[in-house]
Amino acid sequence: MRPVIFSASSVNAYLDCHLRWYFAYVLNEDGEQSEPQRVGIKIHDYAERVLRHLGTAYIPDPEIKSIARVFIDDILPTYRTPILIEESFQIEVNGIGFSGVIDTLDQQDVPWGLANILRDLKSTGKRPAAGKYRFNMIGYYLGVTEGLDHEVHAMQLDYIIRTQKPYYWPEVQPLPDQDEIEAWAAQLETVASGVARADYEPTGLGTYVCSYCSFKDICGPYQRYREVTEA
């Protein structure tokens, strides 16, 4: 059996519900793509095209027209020199494989020289709580510094809040210290251990996870749960 290579998304999926991870990463089920997922993929693709060609002439999909306008008007002007764009990495943490894709590493002039800013683009229906994607950002930080051999001087999430009139909401996150990196690695080890012993229990059953899970239509425990609760 090939070793499992984890990602921020797969770790979060396992923490949400062990059975959800099984559907996605063992059975390789596609599931039903939600509207936020579809929009998120489209805006990422659009942003990548614009950044790679340093231009704004691309016509976005009509579904993301207003969101793309926020990227062009409010986010793109904050970029200076992207040195990484949609760059893949793979590292090993305590013997566990971890991979991901860096949205951007933007190099900017600051008073003391050049600073590399690790940036991640998100679209969301409401303003998120601070630190919501901390696990992801620490993983990306390690991917850039250890996997791609670049320094990181600052980290920033670029949110597009998808209200009736979408707007830009940046969140600067501090660089992780050694204690936080060790805690991050421990969480990765916990998930890897659960997968290694084939713990695929429906741990998200009856929680908010079921409301957005892509596999609820094919999930036997969820269907039985509905039958009981709706009877």
Q: What is the pLDDT of residues 147-195, one digit of tens each?
A: 999 999 999 999 999 999 999 999 999 999 999 999 999 999 999 999 9
Residues 57 and 157 in one domain: yes
- Percentage of residues in the chain with pLDDT exceeding 90? 77
Please state, rounded to an integer, the average pLDDT across all residues of the chain.
92
Residues 120 and 215 in one domain: no
Check: pTM over 0.95? Answer yes or no: no
CA–CA dist 138, 133 (Å, integer): 9
Residue 7's domain comprises 1-32+201-231
Neighbours of 119 (CB within 10 A): 23
Residues 129-150: tens digit of each pLDDT: 999 999 999 999 999 999 999 9
Residues 183 and 139 in one domain: yes
Q: How many domains does the chain have?
A: 2
Residues 12 and 106 in one domain: no
Residues 173 and 185 in one domain: yes
Please say whether the beta carbons of 78 and 119 come within 8 A: no
The b/e string for 65-88 (b: 16+ C-beta within 10 A; e otherwise) is: eebbebbbebbeeebeebebbebe
pLDDT at 38: 85
Residues 28 and 38 in one domain: no
Residues 52-92: tens digit of each pLDDT: 886 666 777 888 899 999 999 999 999 999 999 999 999 99
Of 35-44, 100-109, 213-222, minimum mean pLDDT range: 35-44
Please say whether the beta carbons of 171 and 159 come within 8 A: yes
15 has pLDDT over 90: yes
- End-to-end Cα spacing for the chain: 43
- Percentage of residues in the chain with pLDDT exceeding 70? 97
Residues 43 and 25 in one domain: no
CA–CA dist 182, 96 (Å, integer): 14
Residues 92 and 26 in one domain: no
